Amino acid sequence: MELNEINQNGKNHANNGTNGDNKVIEHVQQIQEILAKEDIVEVLFKGNRRGFYISTGFDTIQPDDKIVVEAENGVDLGIVTYIGASAKARVRCCHKARSVKYKVVREATDDDLERYFTNTAEEPSVVKKTKELVEHFKLDMKVTEAEWQLDRQRLTIYFTAPQRIDFRELVKELARVFKTRIELRQISTREETKRMGAGFGPCGLNLCCTSFLADFNHITLEHARLQQLSNNVAKLSGYCGRLKCCLVYEIETYTEALRHYPQLQSRIQTEEGLAKLIKVDIFKQISTLYFPEEGKYKQITFDELKKYMDNDKVLPPAEEDLRNILGDGNIQVRRDIHGEEYIVE
């Protein structure tokens, strides 16, 4: 069960009773049972693709070992990244929607490695041939990468496209050329950046998607607004051109802290005149007020702000101010085919 499937179950619950919740609960219970009685390893594949596998009976496996694991209708080869309690912790905290149903088959042999390198060497020619066929069939899609399964029982070709693509004829021709099962997988720009596996964030560390993220959260401009970040396209957007994944990391902290504050742009009746609440620093517990009549700013503590709140000196924002909260009128929010928001000026 993939993450979007679990999300869909949640939507079904809203419309069709408890059926969605029951499926989610059943899935979580199954994962908990597996974690309780089986050993687990996390395995990294090409393109920063990750998966979890049952490793019971393979006590000698260590991080960085190359192993062969079960795959759909065959086997595949990857590198162990986490074992034991660390792998189980990652399932519990980060990958609750991931299935853990396949097992480790063996530690990779020399023959396995030779086959893997042979497959990898052929993948660029697969991409080239696929691009030729895409041009032949006049399809609006960008082929980014190809990946052979170790036993060559499946060939996965990744692509991006601005819309849904009818590639049935393309699949038939690819199957005829490569004589194997073909899977054409449309990926988002986030996934494309992740598979490229390069780049550093403004924090100085490797991009989250290439270092530890396996599933993507749905990021919207509201995450930035709640944290009072400027609507700066360059600062809010990542390498993929979509809103940065890290915008969601502290959202629970901000949500909880801001419950104790009035809404931004609230009007406050102070001894110096009417002011607007334009910024809240939840860490220093300092609020910034703006006095439009005098054109001046003033910082007050949370205790000072609370006195105004207790004395009913805080009024809701004016309607025109609500429309301009952290916005300059030049920002537009659009969605791509995968529902991901991005901002344009």
- Judged by average pLDDT, the poorest of 78-87, 139-148, 214-223 is 214-223
Bridge partners, 268 (sequence order):
275, 314
Which residues lie closer than 8 Å to 21 by C-beta, 6 or more apart? 9, 10, 13
Mean pLDDT for all residues in the chain = 83
| 322 vs 294, residue with greater confidence | 294
pTM of the model: 0.65
**pLDDT above 90: residue 267:** yes
Dist. CA 94–CA 223, nearest whole Å: 19
* 50-54/40-44 β-pairing: antiparallel
Mean pLDDT throughout 60-71?
A: 95
Dist. CA 298–CA 291, nearest whole Å: 8
Mean pLDDT throughout 282-287?
A: 93
Structure confidence at residue 22 (pLDDT): 59
Dist. CA 258–CA 81, nearest whole Å: 38
Structure confidence at residue 8 (pLDDT): 38
Mean pLDDT throughout 307-316?
A: 92
Tell me the CATH number for domain 117-191: 3.30.300.20
Helices marked H in the chain — which ranges? 3-16, 19-37, 84-94, 110-136, 168-178, 189-196, 208-211, 221-226, 233-236, 251-258, 302-310, 319-323
**pLDDT above 60: residue 260:** yes
Structure confidence at residue 309 (pLDDT): 93
Structure confidence at residue 16 (pLDDT): 43
Domain 265-323 falls under CATH 1.10.287 = no
| 16 vs 253, residue with greater confidence | 253
**pLDDT above 50: residue 41:** yes
Residue ranges per domain, the chain? 3-113, 117-191, 265-323
Count CB neighbours of 233 within 10 A.
14
Helices (H) and strands (E) in the chain, counts: 12, 15
